[in-house]
Chain A
Amino acid sequence: MKYALSFLAVIALVLIAWLGSQIPGMPYIFGVAFPYLAIAVFLGGFVYRVVQWAKSPVPFSIQTTCGQAKSLDFIKHNKLEAPHTTAQVVARMALEILTFRSLFRNTHAEMHQGPKITYESSKWLWIFALIFHYSFLLIILRHMRLFLNPVPFWVQWLETLDALFQVGAPTWYMSDVGILIGVGFLFARRLTNVKVRYISLLNDYFPLVLIFTIAITGILMRYFLRTDIDIVNIKQLTVGLAALHPTIGSDIGAIFFIHLFLVCALLVYFPYSKLMHMGGVFMSPTRNMKNNSREVRHLNPWNPRILPHSYAGYEDEFREFMVDAGIPVEKELPPQKDEE
């Protein structure tokens, strides 16, 4: 149901772009107005979300330690898993963000008769998540060719790298294959892994379908429908967009508008969805805090003033027992009055 709905939603977006862009005058809306709008929403929304997060303080030092803390000299400190200094935290975060360190740990638990539980290393999610994310990154970076004139050296350099295998004509980029495989796996996993399927929401399928369709339309343009689009016109438009004086030629091709409209949809969707994990991962307190909380005091801006049940109150309640038991007290018992 949920995944079917995601397909429907994306198909609807495709139809809107396809039919809409054919109406005279509309190419300007789809080619210029929507992209600007989408970028504005994306940037504004992204910043807004990060600011919203940042506005809430981190009251306590809640690092999750995944290795030996720094303690005595002869106990070997695990600098990456229980970082003690800022540099070590940066290294830990770099590992998380660049190599998905935590996903690498993943295991699969299985129940057997006995009962017995086994834990097997399970790195599929890690591998395909990496393939997906790096392909995505490469594709975004390669797209800079469209917006920058002249094309910067590093974009050409990335293109050469990405096309290293020289397969097909035009040569297939690894990242294009990678993103399809990556998204395909993530989607298939969502459907076939019982647990993941059970927790999945529309919000989980939709971005995958959307990204898949963006990638497909992109690939269609590059490898199969080359003649349906006018690359010179497109480049003129995109460079114009980047330079803030867009001009839109005719004959750009519907497939391009579909591609572009879906990207706009993704940009608009991004700040209001789980895709914000991109920003959030940097700010997760369990990962980005130092494990030095006994060495350096962490401050809580809203630390309430709460005093303990006082010693004086405690002694008042139990003084007699304490004196009887020979426990030192602050105030002696009142002198006993002789009975008369």
Chain B
Amino acid sequence: MSVPKLEQLSKSVAQGPSLATGAVPTQDWMDIPAVFKSGNYAYPAKKDKVEYLNSQKGLYFPNAREWSPEDDDWKLPEDWKNIILNGLKERLDKFRSLKIFMDCCVRCGACADKCHFFLGTGDPKNMPVLRAELLRSVYRNDFTLGGKILGKMAGGREMTVGVLKEWFMYSYQCTECRRCSVFCPYGIDTAEITMMLRELLHLVGVGINWILEPASNSNRTGNHMGLQPHTFKDNVEFLVDDVENLTGVRPNISFNRKGAEILFITPSADVFAEPGLYTAMGYMILFEAIGLDYTWSTYASEGGNFGLFTNNETMKKLNAKMYAEAERLGVKYIIGGECGHMWRVLHQYMDTMNGPADFLEVPVSPITGTKFQNAASTKMVHITEFTADLIKHGKLKLDKSRNSHVKATFHDSCNTSRAMGLLDEPRYVLDHVVDNWVEMPENTIREQTFCCGSGTGLNTDEIMELRMRSGYPRANAVQYVRDKFDVNTLACVCAIDRATLTSLNNYWTPEVTVCGLTELVGNAIVQENEGENRAVLDEGLRTMV
């Protein structure tokens, strides 16, 4: 599992004989089996985690057991094949997207070189079109006339254990980033296919621990990290102390407070580890500066949702806590922190799954009076929308020189850009909090942004080489602005990014640190009462005092 040396991997990415570098595979892809060896797969889910999830109402996680992808026998249930084919049929009937995407691909190849996994590994099955063909071939064989008559000639193939193993390998080498979908003439979104593959695999007990453990934690303790209420509170209070030590102003905070105007929910990673901690400090500084009447919750202490990477039932169950808590506390609406996949769920799934949130009000900024019409039904506002509006109305006193140590660039996370369209709000904020920032090359930002390479629950250490490869297109763009403009900070609005881009940069571009946008906001804010207690903060909130 050790990661290859930088020179070695650099060479392999650029010159290794792969389809990405122009070498032609000699075998048809259907004839190449998936081979698992240490380092190329994420560990399977632990038995007790699967059992726990399976015991929860509304969830279905059968076949909990010890197993390893390296074994020949995956201990699948007796009638696994029927389970898979019936599961596929059920999903074809439930998701029009799946049917259309199965039927319409013309194999034009426009998506082929758009995937960061393909660019980094050169593995043909990481071309989005082939990833989809892994499923489509089975679909053809069992669900289409042509496939039933012509079989292999028409691109069909029978569902076998080998195919299932291949599904496992390649549905966990896709971060559901949707970049392929931007370029496809029919909008075919391979992320949808990956989701279906993962749902199907869970039906026979095939899943990874790095997803199911956080999901079960989140269900039980309220957050992925498994922080129990008192620990969660402690963690946040440490940050309060830090903020006070640094800025001289102690932010007011509260937990599970009834009657607060706003419930604030962010990924728990923000209160758990660097560099997310600084972003969390930024939130508190920001809310203190405007005197926001808000509360944290320990019960709904997770913004992220690993159910999105599992199946729609788990996504719904985990997400449902947000509204349940908002209703219990009697808040008016919810503000959500910086996170990518969290916002995919909030923007595209939450209201449908767990709405209507009639007990909440259409969000109105208590400071500016702006009504967030775009969130009128879901009643959740993105922190960046909220901040941009504050800045526009001149409600924040900002001193850009407090970020003079920063030369930034901005990374759009996949979900907020391609599943939400949040592109210019963060840029607007960035314009107002730093003197100096530049864009990465145009084919790597906004709707064409490249994934960090470790989204959808793939930020686990045992697949580090894979992550460094799939993150390479992003890292390469960072290298470009580092070399050309001396960029030293990669800003983002995603908690997974803060963790994964840090690993990625440490490997490819160690000179560039990663931060959340709100950290930069926190740095720049001038508190009314900060006085002389404020330390000299040469490195903003990261300064050691």
Q: Which residues in B have their C-beta under 8 angstroms from that of A283?
A: 96, 100
A174 to chain B, nearest CB (A): 23
A64/B103 contact (C-beta < 8 A), A306-B316, A307-B58, A327-B233 known: no
Is residue B380 contacting chain A, with contact meaning CB distance below 8 A? yes
In the complex, identify which listed stretch (A68-76, A233-241, A243-251) lies at the interface while the others stay far away.
A68-76
Contact A114/B10 with A199-B107, A308-B318 known, Cβ cut-off 8 Å: yes
Task: Assess whether A284 is interfacial by the CB under 8 Å rule.
Answer: yes
Task: Encode A122-135 as 1/0 by CB contact (under 8 A) with B.
Answer: 00010001000000
B174-185 interface code vs A (CB 8 A; 1 in, 0 out):
000010011111
Using a CB-CB cutoff of 8 Å, which residues 350-365 of chain B contact chain A?
351-353, 355-356
Q: Given A308-B318, A325-B229, does the pair A69, B181 have CB atoms closer than 8 Å?
A: no
Q: Closest CB of chain B to A118's CB: distance in Å?
A: 9
B110: Cβ under 8 A from any A Cβ: yes
Smallest distance from the beta carbon of A76 to chain B beta carbons, Å?
A: 7
Contacts A81-B447, A107-B443, A202-B155; A293 near B185 (Cβ below 8 A): no
> Is A61 an interface residue, CB under 8 A from the partner?
yes
Q: In the complex the two chains form, is A202's CB within 8 Å of B421's CB?
A: no
Q: What residue of chain A has the Cβ atom nearest to residue B29's Cβ?
A: A198
Flag if A322 contacts B298 (CB, 8 Å). Answer: yes
Q: Does chain A have a CB within 8 A of B199? A: no
Whether B320 contacts A108 by the Cβ 8 Å rule is no
A66-B182, A198-B25, A324-B230 given; A82·B10 CB < 8 A: no
> How many pairs of residues, A versus B, come closer than 8 Å at their CB atoms?
339
**CB distance A100 to B185 under 8 Å?**
yes
- Distance to closest chain A CB from B231 (angstroms): 8
Give A327 Cβ to nearest chain B Cβ, in Å. 5
- A293 near B19 with CB under 8 A, answer no
Distance A217 CA – B105 CA, assembled complex (angstroms): 28
Instruction: State the CA gap A62–B178 with chains docked (Å).
Output: 11
Q: How far is the CA of A105 from the CA of B182 in the complex (A)?
A: 8
A321 vs B425: C-alpha distance when bound (angstroms): 40
Flag whether A193 is at the interface (Cβ < 8 A).
yes
Bits for A284-308, please: 1 = Cβ < 8 Å to B, else 0. 1111000111111111101111111
Chain B residue with the shortest CB-CB distance to A65: B421
Contacts A75-B424, A102-B187, A198-B19 known; A53 to B447 CB distance under 8 Å? no
Given contacts A64-B418, A72-B425, A198-B29, contact A308 B321 (CB under 8 A): yes
Q: Which residues of A contact B299 (CB under 8 A)?
A: 311, 314-315
Cβ B103 vs Cβ A306 within 8 A = no
Task: Flag whether A163 is at the interface (Cβ < 8 A).
Answer: no
Q: Is A109 an interface residue (CB 8 A)?
A: yes
> Is A102's CB under 8 angstroms from B185's CB?
yes
* Distance of A237 Cα from B133 Cα, bound (Å): 44
**B421: contacting residue among A69, A193, A277, A305, CB under 8 A:** A69
Chain A positions within 8 Å of B274 at CB level: none
Contact stretch, chosen from B255-263, B276-284, B510-518: B255-263
Contact A201 B154 (CB under 8 A): yes
Complex interface: stretch among B204-212, B371-379, B456-464, B528-536: B371-379
Residue numbers in B under 8 Å from A60 (CB-CB): 312, 348-349, 352
Q: Would you list which residues of chain B between 382 and 430 have a CB under 8 Å from chain A?
A: 385, 388-389, 392, 417-425, 428
One of A100, A113, A294 near B347 (C-beta < 8 A): A294
Q: Are A64 and B187 in contact (CB under 8 A)?
A: yes
Task: Find A96's partner among B13, B185, B448 (CB 8 Å cutoff).
Answer: B185
**For B355, what are the chain A residues with a Cβ–Cβ distance below 8 Å?**
297
Interchain CB contact (< 8 A) of B110 among A106, A287, A294, A299? A106
Q: Decide if A61 touches B352 in the complex (CB within 8 Å).
A: yes
Evaluate contact between A294 and B233: CB separation under 8 angstroms: no
With the chains together, A70 CA to B96 CA distance in Å? 26
0/1 interface trace, chain B 301-332, chain A, CB 8 Å (1 if under): 00000000000110011111100110010000
Q: Which residue of A lies closest to B58 (CB)?
A: A306
Flag whether A115 is at the interface (Cβ < 8 A): yes
> With A and B bound together, what is the CA distance between A273 and B136 in angstroms?
13
Nearest A residue to B508, CB-CB: A115
Q: Does B238 contact A (CB under 8 A)?
A: no
Q: How far does the alpha carbon of A272 sit from the alpha carbon of B150 in the complex, in Å?
A: 12
Q: Does B509 contact A (CB under 8 A)?
A: no
Q: Indicate whether A200 reaches chain B with its CB closer than 8 angstroms.
A: yes
**Distance of A284 Cα from B155 Cα, bound (Å):** 23
Please tell me if B146 contacts chain A, counting CB pairs below 8 Å: yes
A residues less than 8 Å from B388 (CB atoms): 72, 75
Residues of chain B within 8 A of A108, CB atoms compared: 113
State whether A297 touches B112 (Cβ < 8 A). Answer: no
Report the minimal beta-carbon distance from B98 to chain A, rounded to whole angstroms: 8
Which 8 pairs show the lowest CB-CB distances between chains A and B? A69-B421, A115-B14, A306-B58, A65-B421, A280-B104, A286-B187, A308-B320, A325-B230
Enumerate chain A interface residues (CB-CB to B < 8 A): 5, 49, 52-72, 74-76, 78, 81-82, 96, 100, 102-103, 105-109, 111-117, 119, 125, 129, 193-196, 198-204, 272-274, 276-277, 280-281, 283-287, 291-300, 302-311, 314-315, 317-318, 321-322, 324-328
Query: A129-B185, A298-B352 provided; 16 other pairs, C-beta below 8 A?
Result: A66-B447, A102-B184, A103-B108, A115-B10, A119-B443, A129-B108, A193-B109, A198-B24, A201-B154, A272-B146, A274-B103, A284-B188, A296-B377, A306-B317, A327-B255, A328-B255
What are 12 residue pairs bridging A and B, where the CB atoms are less than 8 Å apart in the complex? Answer: A5-B153, A67-B423, A69-B420, A75-B425, A102-B184, A198-B124, A204-B107, A274-B104, A297-B355, A304-B58, A307-B58, A322-B229
